[in-house]
Amino acid sequence: MSVAEDYSYYTSPEQNGGIAMDLAVDGVTCGGCVARIENAVRSLPGVTEARLNFTNRRLHVAWRKEDLAPARIVSEIEALGYKGRPFRATAAEEAEAREVKNLLRCLGVAGFGAMNVMLLSVSVWSGNVTDITAETRDFFHWTSALISLPAAFYAGRPFFRSAFEALKARTTNMDVPISLGVILALGLSVYETAVHAEHAYFDSALMLLFFLLLGRVLDHAMRRRTRAVATNLAALKSDTAQRLKDGEIKEVPVAALRTGDHLLVRPGDRVPADGRVVAGRSEIDESIITGETAPRRVDAGASVYTGSLNYSGALRIEVTALGADTLIDEIERLLAKAAAGRSRIRALADKAAGYYAPVVHSAAALTAIGWLMAGSSLHYALVTAISVLIITCPCALALAIPAVQVVASGALFRSGIILNGADALERLAKVDTVVFDKTGTLTSPDLRVENTGAVDPALLRTGARLALSSRHPLARALAREAMTSAPFDGVVEESGRGIRVLIDGQEARLGSLEFCGLPTQSVSSDVSLLAFTHAARSAVFEIRQSLRPDAAETMNALRALGLSLHIMSGDRSLPVSRVAATLGIESWHAAMKPAEKIQAIEQLKAKGRRVLMVGDGVNDAPALAAADVSISPSSAADIAQAHADALFLGERLLPVVQALLTARRARHLMTENLWLAVIYNAVAVPIAVIGALTPFIAAIAMSASSLLVTLNAFRARGRGVT
Amino acid sequence: MSVLVYLVPMALGLGVAGLFAFLWALRSGQFDDPQGAAIRMLRDDDIQSASPGHMNG
């Protein structure tokens, strides 16, 4: 049965009358891949443009509509051995892309201004100690003003806007003192120029903007990169659904489904949307919803949920809920509550900003009052007070924390951890308790054959090769043991029972024990059996969800960090207790409902614990939102991913340790950087207060302190755990 | 020092030219794929197949 795939949902019209589509491509590792994919897609009929962005692994294709169906592009990429899936960029991602471009423009303008003004300033400084005439100095100052005022006005917009928003909301943030410092420095300089004074601070204002913008560009570029990876992951994971319409089956993206559509869910498929079974009978595995590993029997009238795995028979379902309302009511209600009640730890940067502004502003005021009382002129008192504000301009302070966040999230990104927000680092650093879900988190999301060692290797190989022909999840687990990717010819499938084929003239069967003519066995409920017979020989494979390969190692590493570990699972006692015993975790709870998970986490928090929740299921989502901080594997249900602070990629669990280590180091460096900024101010402010600050000293001090905290931030990269 | 009247605007003009070059590069997408640019530079398939309509960056 060939099924037509319909990707028209993802295409968008181009200006020249053609249409275009963006695809996330997986498996692109080198320049050769880029050329192979681009050339192959370009050679398709009607394609006018194909460009693979190697930075974010996305392919942009444009073509003449009548010449080509979008599905051809997807299958062409697949034929080359890569996986490509179309996607639609989210609004948040597009906004981030615009913001990065805007910041880069501001950075360019600030850099241009700072360099040219610095050129003029150096001349003035060296002239001031030799023989510059007052006219030449005024000319240089006015030229500086001509460059600085428009450049600072343009490049400072991101700060001015944010400061204005904060003031309007009657709060304060770091951008308020920054904006104030820049505006005062420029205002003072224009005034000083007009009265033919020796000192102007145009270069300080622009250099401040340049450094701060540099930090912000890096920050946003990092965020944009992680967001792109998250979107790609979602696109590559997004399955298609088989829609039945007018007796025809069409494969459509899940995003294009509507309520009331009838879908065909074959054995081995995941249920693409919440729905009700209209026809068919099967067993489905709902472990991603409930954590329960034993399959549930369903027939006509039963409800099925997105993400469950269909085991044995084909089902026809009617879609009842989609997208945002695809959640089970109870989970939805709990989620809203948990997310609202989440105690927000106040970010370090906000705390610093809270102390900073009042201290600095009162220091400036005291300086002015002090000089007035000492009998100096109002002009001199004001100039000195403003110079205090300029020198304390939070160059170092505003970079101290973002620089560390950028470097740390970059380091995590390279080791396969994607942070949803940089503030998660600070919360991760304080964690002292880790709560794990079992199914899909401690265990790997795929099923595995447990007793491969007990089966004759030749029989295992033959059975595994036969398993290649079945879509049943148990058979797929067995197929993973196959040494070849070539299935047998002439395999016959007996629906709901198993498959058979003739090998060397003798019949081989793979399926239930009954289908293979073997006596039934009783096993514990978390093990599934798959039987194989060939000639007179037979084997029974025991299949279950096995632990992630490095689960024990990860637990030991976490214990060594002094963390207390818990398991909270929705699965039954027996499998949970076995996993807990293997990993040496004493505190475990089984058969927990989502509400009970929240309760248990709230209890831990009430005892003063900082809780990290690691989970993947729909039933974990409320707990992920309730914990202080949360991590999900990238195989997790969408709703769990949406409420996790970080995602980790791949089969291994060790990234959780890596995330904690990096976060702790990052927090340490943030504090260190804040102290560096404090020391800088402790040295620089007295110089300004006594009125000895020249623009030359200001330039040196400000750039030196910025460089120092930035260089210190690079230590957040550290060495990874392997 | 009257030479400064020419030199300073000339220096500024050069700076502005650099700024506009940067803004143009930004607008035309030169910074969209920095890692890809490093790879494309080493590709030489455009030498063999200098076919028209070859959209190579």
pLDDT at A330 (0 to 100) = 64
CB-based contact, B31 to chain A, within 8 Å: yes
> Which of A143, A154, A224 to mutate against chain B (most B CBs within 10 Å)?
A143
Q: Between residues A55 and B1, which one has the greater pLDDT?
A: A55
pLDDT at A174 (0 to 100) = 78
Give ranges for CATH 3.40.1110.10 in chain A. Answer: 446-547
Q: What is the mean pLDDT of residues B17-21?
A: 94
Contact (CB<8Å) B45/A42: no
Q: pLDDT by residue (tens digit) across A644-659? A: 888 898 888 999 999 9
Contact (CB<8Å) B19/A101: no
If you measure CA to CA, which chain A residue comes closest to B15? A112
Sheet holding A4-5, edge to edge: A4-5, A248-253, A240-245, A262-265, A315-321, A274-279, A303-304
Task: Sort A700 into a burial class: Cβ within 10 Å, 0-12 / 13-18 / 19+.
Answer: exposed
Here the tokens at position A257 are: 């489904």
Distance, in Å, from the CA atom of A355 to the CA atom of A172, rounded to the nearest integer, reads: 11
Distance, in Å, from the CA atom of A20 to the CA atom of A71, rounded to the nearest integer, reads: 13
Q: What is the 3-state secondary structure (H, E, C) of A308-363?
A: CEECCCCEEEEEEECHHHCCCHHHHHHHHHHHHCCCCCCCHHHHHHHHHHHHHHHH
pLDDT at A328 (0 to 100) = 60
Here the tokens at position A146 are: 């001509």
User: Catalytic: A285?
Assistant: no
Measured CA angle at A275 (ends A273, A276), to 5 deg: 155
Chain A residues in contact with B35 (beta carbon < 8 A): 54-55
Number of Cβ within 10 Å of residue A24's Cβ equals 23
Distance to chain B for A216, nearest Cα, Å? 16
**How is domain A1-88 classified at the architecture level of CATH?**
2-Layer Sandwich (3.30)
The DSSP letter of residue A197 is -
Q: Which of A22, A175, A261, A437 is catalytic?
A: A437
Residue A71: its H or E element = helix A70-79
Q: Which amino acid is at A296?
A: R
Give ranges for CATH 3.30.70.100 in chain A. Answer: 1-88
Distance, in Å, from the CA atom of A194 to the CA atom of A186, rounded to the nearest integer, reads: 12
Distance, in Å, from the CA atom of A227 to the CA atom of A235, rounded to the nearest integer, reads: 12
The winner for highest mean pLDDT among A151-160, A530-539, A693-702 is A151-160
Statement: residue A223 has pLDDT above 50: yes
Contact (CB<8Å) B55/A48: yes
Chain B residues in contact with A31 (beta carbon < 8 A): 39-40, 42-43
**Nearest residue, CB atoms, A101 vs list B16, B18, B26:** B26
If you measure CA to CA, which chain B residue comes closest to A146? B12
Instruction: With H, G, I as helix, E, B as strand and everything else as coil, classify residue A620.
Output: helix
pLDDT at A89 (0 to 100) = 74
Contact (CB<8Å) B8/A143: yes
Give ranges for CATH 3.40.50.1000 in chain A. Answer: 413-444+548-664
pLDDT at A323 (0 to 100) = 55
Distance to chain A for B56, nearest Cα, Å? 8
Distance, in Å, from the CA atom of A664 to the CA atom of A427, rounded to the nearest integer, reads: 9
Q: A413-444+548-664: what CATH class?
A: alpha beta
Statement: residue A297 has pLDDT above 60: yes
Q: pLDDT by residue (tens digit) across A597-615? A: 888 999 999 999 999 999 9
pLDDT at B54 (0 to 100) = 44
Here the tokens at position A541 are: 């494979």
Here the tokens at position A91 are: 């609004």
Q: How many residues does chain B have?
A: 57
Q: With contact defined as beta carbons under 8 Å apart, do A564 and A434 qualify?
A: yes
Statement: residue A75 has pLDDT above 90: no
Handedness of CA A156, A159, A160, A162 (dihedral sign): positive
Distance to chain A for B12, nearest Cα, Å? 7
Distance, in Å, from the CA atom of A275 to the CA atom of A261, rounded to the nearest integer, reads: 9
Instruction: With H, G, I as helix, E, B as strand and everything else as coil, classify residue A22.
Output: strand
Chain A residues in contact with B31 (beta carbon < 8 A): 104
Task: Sort A128 into a burial class: Cβ within 10 Å, 0-12 / 13-18 / 19+.
Answer: middle
Q: With contact defined as beta carbons under 8 Å apart, do A312 and A346 qualify?
A: no
If you measure CA to CA, which chain B residue comes closest to A105? B23
Here the tokens at position A546 are: 């096995």
What's the complex ipTM?
A: 0.80
pLDDT at A329 (0 to 100) = 63
**How is domain A239-329 classified at the architecture level of CATH?**
Distorted Sandwich (2.70)
Chain A residues in contact with chain B using a Cβ-Cβ cutoff of 8 Å: 30-31, 34-35, 39, 42, 48-56, 101, 104-105, 108-109, 112, 115-116, 119-120, 133, 136, 139-140, 143, 147
Statement: residue A638 has pLDDT above 70: yes
N-terminal to C-terminal alpha carbon distance within chain A = 46
Chain B residues in contact with A136 (beta carbon < 8 A): 1, 4
Q: What is the mean pLDDT of residues A212-217?
A: 88
Q: pLDDT by residue (tens digit) across A387-444? A: 888 888 667 778 888 888 888 888 888 888 888 777 788 889 999 999 999 888 898 8
Distance, in Å, from the CA atom of A72 to the CA atom of A147, rounded to the nearest integer, reads: 55
Q: What is the mean pLDDT of residues A167-186?
A: 85
Distance, in Å, from the CA atom of A539 to the CA atom of A523, rounded to the nearest integer, reads: 15
Distance to chain A for B19, nearest Cα, Å? 6
Distance, in Å, from the CA atom of A710 to the CA atom of A695, rounded to the nearest integer, reads: 23
Q: A446-547: what CATH class?
A: alpha beta
Q: With contact defined as beta carbons under 8 Å apart, do A82 and A26 qualify?
A: yes
